């Protein structure tokens, strides 16, 4: 009978966050595949678990994935752990899950910490609807394209970021989302110096220009204000002012109002200028 793949979530800083079920699974499997075997060895030593370890990481994920699948098909149960948190969330793992599904191997998630969810629930932002955006690309153009595609996103957005890229990312947020957008910068989650810094994007830039950021971050960014789609309750003047407040020039605001209302720009211009 084929073995199974267990996706074992491990702590993101505080070792007490490991679950009883995760410990049971780690004790029972035949092999543990880890992103960084030295890092995982420390965790296993702490909980006095002795198991064979093998590496499964970014640069061997394809070929190693098939090798691990073969071992499961031969009957071995394998636990996959990442350096922190839940495997397959912004770390290798999704490929292995896909390979197992392709080969008919059972995949069993063993839930626990996810930095994104930790950050979200402590951020003070709406949690009813949110989207996870992971790490932004290091490529400047891809980053901008990614952000521009979500410029009007109304759900709370969650990003992962490393300290050396934080300022550049905040500056990109400022360009695309605007400096007044609320952001919660969450670091050292679950650790002694856990920190939630709740500011606007511009305030965050000022803070980290003064004091360079340290540690890994989760950035929780408030969604864009819902756009009013039914403009009949707005006067033409208020409608134009709404766009000016959002940052459009008077000319572009009138153009946008004409488009929203399906009337000629000259009519908007005449009425707006008449009322002023």
Which is closer to ligand SAM, CB of 85 or CB of 223?
A: 85
What is the DSSP pairing of strand 156-161 with strand 182-187?
A: unpaired
Measured between alpha carbons, how far is 61 from 233 in angstroms, rounded to an integer? 56
Smallest separation, CB 29 to ligand SAM (Å): 19
Contact 14, 191 (CB under 8 A): yes
Say which DSSP state 225 is in. P
Q: CB nearer to ligand SAM: give 116 or 136.
A: 116
Q: Where along the sequence are the contacts to ligand SAM (CB under 6 A)?
A: 12-13, 82, 84-86, 89-91, 114-116, 160-162, 186-190, 216-218
Task: Name every residue whose Cβ is closer than 8 Å to that of residue 186 and which is 6 or more positions away in sequence.
Answer: 115, 118, 119, 122, 123, 195, 196, 197, 217, 218, 219, 220
CB of 226 to ligand SAM, least distance (A): 28
Q: At its nearest, how many Å lie between ligand SAM and the CB of residue 149? A: 21
Nearer to ligand SAM among residue 91 and residue 172 (C-beta): 91
**In the complex with ligand SAM, which residue's Cβ is closer, 218 or 268?**
218
Output the smallest distance, CB 21 to ligand SAM, in A.
16
Q: Shortest Cβ contact with ligand SAM: which residue?
A: 85
Q: Which C-beta is closer to ligand SAM: that of 86 or that of 169?
A: 86
Please identify, using beta-carbon distances, which residue of 217 and 272 lies nearer to ligand SAM.
217
Please check whether residue 56 is in contact with residue 68, taking contact to mean a CB–CB distance below 8 angstroms.
yes
The answer to whether residues 225 and 154 touch, using CB atoms and an 8 Å cutoff, is yes
Helix axes 163-177, 201-210, angle to 10 degrees: 150
The two tokens of residue 203 are 């305030």
Shortest Å, Cβ 89 to ligand SAM: 4
Rounded to whole angstroms, the Cα distance separating 113 from 91 reads: 14
Q: How far is the CB of 177 from ligand SAM (least distance, A)?
A: 19
Question: CA-CA distance, 205 to 246, in Å (whole number)?
Answer: 21
Q: What's the rounded Cα separation, in Å, for the pair 9 and 22?
A: 7
């Amino acid at each position: 009978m084929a073995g199974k793949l267990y996706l074992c979530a491990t702590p993101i800083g505080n070792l007490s966050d490991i679950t009883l079920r995760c410990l049971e699974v780690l004790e029972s499997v035949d092999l543990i595949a880890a992103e960084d075997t030295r890092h995982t060895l420390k965790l296993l030593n702490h909980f006095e678990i002795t198991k064979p370890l093998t590496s499964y990481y970014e640069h061997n994920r394809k070929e190693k994935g098939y090798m691990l699948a073969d071992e499961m098909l031969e009957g071995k149960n394998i636990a996959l752990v990442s350096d922190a948190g839940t495997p397959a969330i912004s770390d290798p793992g999704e490929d292995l899950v896909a390979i197992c599904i392709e080969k008919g191997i059972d995949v069993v998630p063993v839930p626990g910490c996810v930095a994104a969810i930790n950050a979200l629930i402590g951020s003070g932002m709406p949690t009813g609807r949110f989207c996870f955006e992971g790490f932004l690309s290091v490529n400047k153009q891809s980053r901008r394209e990614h952000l521009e595609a979500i410029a009007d996103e109304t759900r709370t957005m969650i990003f992962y970021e490393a300290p050396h890229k934080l300022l550049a990312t905040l500056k990109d947020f400022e360009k695309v989302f605007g400096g007044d957008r609320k952001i919660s910068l969450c670091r050292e989650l679950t650790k002694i110096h856990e920190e939630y810094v709740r500011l606007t994007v511009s305030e965050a830039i000022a803070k980290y220009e003064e004091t360079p950021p340290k540690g890994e971050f989760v950035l929780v960014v408030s969604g864009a204000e819902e756009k009013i789609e039914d403009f009949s309750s707005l006067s033409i003047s208020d409608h134009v002012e709404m766009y000016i407040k959002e940052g459009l020039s008077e000319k572009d605001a009138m153009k946008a109002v004409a488009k929203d209302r399906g009337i000629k720009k000259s009519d908007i211009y005449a009425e707006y200028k008449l009322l002023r």
